[in-house]
Amino acid sequence: MKNLIHKISKKIGFTEIEVKVLFFLISMFLLGYSYKIFLTDKTDKLSNFDYSYRDSLFLSAIDDENLKSFNKINDSNIDYKQEVLDFNKADFISPKKKEVITGKSINLNTAGLDELMKLPGVGEKTASTIMEHRKKIGKFKYVEQLLDIKGIGNSKLNKIKEYIFIE
């Protein structure tokens, strides 16, 4: 047997211990599978379980008023999709209209948060960062000072450059 294990280990490139473990796993799998097929009871025990006793315990625990409301809920035809949507106040039906800006229309030194958010690629956080930087340095002297702000790189500056001016 030892010689056979040695030949198999040389042939497949495993060590002798790995081959022994592999034989053990295969034999346990075959033993378990044959036990399942030949020695277990083939009747399905779960399908024969009677839930009426548990249901009666549940129904006896609730009072008549709760039972009436329970039946009322089950009998009504509720549009659950609409019920869920009623909780959300957002308007999903009408598309959001983003205000279109033209040419050099936003003064970088006087623009508020809403005006700065109209710029392409500028959200609320970047707009507030621009306002904080403006407060820190006084006023912008040239547009390239926006590069000092975290979140604005060359590509974003090139996108918004045509919409801003400094006065």
| pLDDT tens, residue by residue, 65-76 | 666 666 665 555
Domain chopping of the chain, boundaries? 2-38, 53-87, 106-165
- Residue 61: the pLDDT is 73
Radius of gyration for the chain, computed over Cα atoms and rounded to the nearest angstrom: 37
pLDDT of residue 110 exceeding 80, the answer is yes
Q: Which residue has the higher pLDDT, 73 or 110?
A: 110
**Mean pLDDT over the full length of the chain:** 81
Looking up tokens 């209209």 gives 97
Q: 107 by DSSP, 3-state: which?
A: strand
H helical segments located in 88-162:
113-117, 124-137, 154-160
Taking the complete model, does pTM exceed 0.75, yes or no? no
> Pairing between strand 106-107 and 164-165?
parallel
Domain covering 106-165 assigned CATH 1.10.150.320 in the classification:
yes
Instruction: Please list the residues that pair with 106 across neighbouring strands.
Output: 164
Q: How many percent of the chain have pLDDT more than 70?
A: 73
CA 78 – CA 72 distance, rounded (Å): 11
